[in-house]
Amino acid sequence: MAGAAPPPKQDELVPHPVKDQLPNISFCITSPPPWPEAILLGFQHYLVMLGTAVIIPTALVPQMGGGNDEKARVIQTLLFVAGINTLFQTYFGTRLPAVIGGSYTFVMPTISIILAGRYSDIVDPHEKFLHIMRGTQGALIVASTLQIIIGFSGLWRNVTRYLSPLSAVPLVALAGFGLYELGFPGVAKCVEIGLPVIILLVLFSQYIPHAIHSDRPVFDRFAVIFSIVIVWLYAYFLTIGGAYKHSPPKTQTHCLTDRSGLVGGAPWIRVPYPFQWGAPTFDAGEAFAMMAASFVALVESTGTFMAVARYASATPVPPSVLSRGIGWQGIGILLGGLFGTSIGSSVSVENAGLLALTRVGSRRVVQISAGFMIFFSILGKFGAVFASIPAPIFAALYCLFFAYVGAAGLSFLQFCNLNSFRTKFILGFSVFMGLSVPQYFNEYTSVAGYGPVHTGARWFNDIINVIFSSKPFVAGFVAFFLDNTLHRHDSTVRKDRGSHWWQKFRSFKGDARSEEFYALPYNLNKFFPSV
C-alpha cells in the first residue's frame, strides 16, 4: 500500500525515560539568575503571594470587629512574618525555594474562635477585635509546638521514609488540584477582570514565546507582571470611569481597585512587633482545634515541598530535610502567634506553581521576594497599593499555578507501574475519597452553618471538621495507609509502587546530590547533621 507510514523504529516505541530531577529548568536551586532579572522575579513572587496575604485578613478581620485600620495592620503583620519565615525556610529549613505564607487551613479554627461565646458580650468592636486576636495568638502559639516537636525530633522523618512515589501522587496532586474552589469561582466574581488575566497569562507564557523565537525568555518568565499590569490598569480605568457606580455592593467589592480601604487605612511607616495587640490568651479547646489545623498544614506542606523540589530541579527531598523544614515551619507558626497574624502559615502553593511557569527554581529569587515582603510590610502605603489589586486577578493566577502543582503530583506516576491493579486501586480510591469526603464536610457546613460532627464539645467538632475538610490530607492519608499495609513486602509490589527509585534518597547521604541542594549554610551541618 503506497502512502502507508513506515513501521516505527524500535527506539520510538520506548517509553519516556524516568527522571529523578526535572530537566529543562533554566535556573535550578543553586544557580541564581543575573541580579536585575533575579530582583524582578523576586518581585513577581511577592505579587503572587500577596493574594492569600490580603484575601484571608479581608475576610476575617471584619468578622473579628476590626475596621480598615486593623485590616491594614494585620495584612502588614502577615507579610512581615511571611518574609521572615521564608528567609528561615530557605536558609535553615528545607533550603528549597519555598515561600511560607498564610494558610487557608487555619481559617476554620480562627472562625471558630471568632464565634466563641465568651466574646459575644463585648460591645465595642475594637475591643472585641483585640480580644479575639489575642485568643487566636494563644491558640497559634500552642499549635506551633506540634510542628516544632514533630519536625525537630525527627518523628516526621520516620513517617515520610514510608512515602513511596505512589502514595506521594494523591498528596501532591490534591495539594494543587484540591484548591479548585479558589480558582474559577473567584475569577467569576468579576469575570470581566479575571478572565482577561487567564487569557493573557496563557498567551504570554505559552503562545508568544513560540511565536517570537527570541534568545532571551522575557514573556514567559515575566508573564505574571505583564498580565497583572495590563489588567490592573484596565480595572483602574473602569473604576475611575464609574463603570461600577450603580453596581451592587458585592460587585464593587470584587471589581474596584481599592475596594478594601487599604491604602487609606495603612500608615506610611510601621514596623510590626511581637504582642502588638496585647498579651495572648489561652483556651484549651481552641488550642486543640488549632493543633488539628497545624497537623493538617504539616501534611499539606509536605506535599507542596515535594512539588517545589520537583520544579526547582532538585532530587526528591530526603526525609530528614523534610522533617527539618516542618520544624522551621512550626517556628513560623509560633512567630505568627507572637506577632498576631490571626492565622498560621504553610508553604505557598501558588508560589510553587510560579516556579514552574518561570522555570526558575533559584533559591536567591525567593530570598529576594522575602526582602520585598519585609520592605513593603514596613512601608505601609506602598505595600497597600499592591495589596489593592482586585481579588479576581489573584484567582486567575491560581487557575494556572494550582494546576502546575497538581501536575507535579501526577508526574510522580512515572516511577509507578500503571498496569498494576494494586496501583490503580490505591490511586483511584485515595484521589476519589480525597475529593469526596471534604466535599461532604464543606457542603454540610455551608448549608447547616456547622460541620457534620456536632457534639457538645466544640473543640472535638473543630478537630474532626478541620481534618476531614482538607483534600490533600484525606487523599494522602488514604494512599499512605493502603500503600503501606497492602502486601508491600512483595518484591514486585516494591517495584510497582516505585519505591526502588527513591531508595537512595531515603537517607541524606544516600545520594551525592543531596549535599548540593539541601546542606545547611555556614558549615552548620557539623552541628545539625542530616541523617
Each residue of 430-483: pLDDT tens digit? 999 999 999 999 999 888 878 888 888 888 888 999 999 999 999 999 999 999
pLDDT band, residue 84 (cuts 50/70/90): very high
Helix (H, G, I), strand (E, B) or coil at 272: coil
Q: Which three cell numbers stand for residue 26?
A: 533554566
Across-strand partners of 100? 347
Distance CA 88, CA 366 (A): 11
pLDDT band, residue 510 (cuts 50/70/90): confident
> Given this model, what pLDDT does residue 46 score?
95
Of the candidates 115, 105, 257, 289, the one whose C-alpha atom is nearest the C-alpha of residue 193 is: 257
Those residues whose C-beta lies under 8 Å from the C-beta of residue 114, and which sit 6 or more positions away, are: 60, 63, 64, 132
**Quick one: 492 exposed, middle or buried, by C-beta within 10 A (0-12, 13-18, 19+)?**
exposed
Distance CA 224, CA 221 (A): 8
> Given this model, what pLDDT does residue 456 score?
81
> Given this model, what pLDDT does residue 235 score?
86
> Given this model, what pLDDT does residue 9 score?
67
pLDDT band, residue 509 (cuts 50/70/90): confident
In the predicted model, what is the mean pLDDT of the chain? 90
pTM over 0.75: yes
Helix (H, G, I), strand (E, B) or coil at 360: strand
More confident residue, 266 or 229: 229
* DSSP 8-state secondary structure symbol assigned to residue 34: P
Answer yes or no: are the C-beta atoms of 475 and 174 closer than 8 Å.
Answer: yes
Q: Please state the separation of Cα 477 from the chain's center in Å.
A: 19
Q: What mean pLDDT do residues 37-57 have? A: 94
Of the candidates 156, 443, 182, the one whose C-alpha atom is nearest the C-alpha of residue 324 is: 156
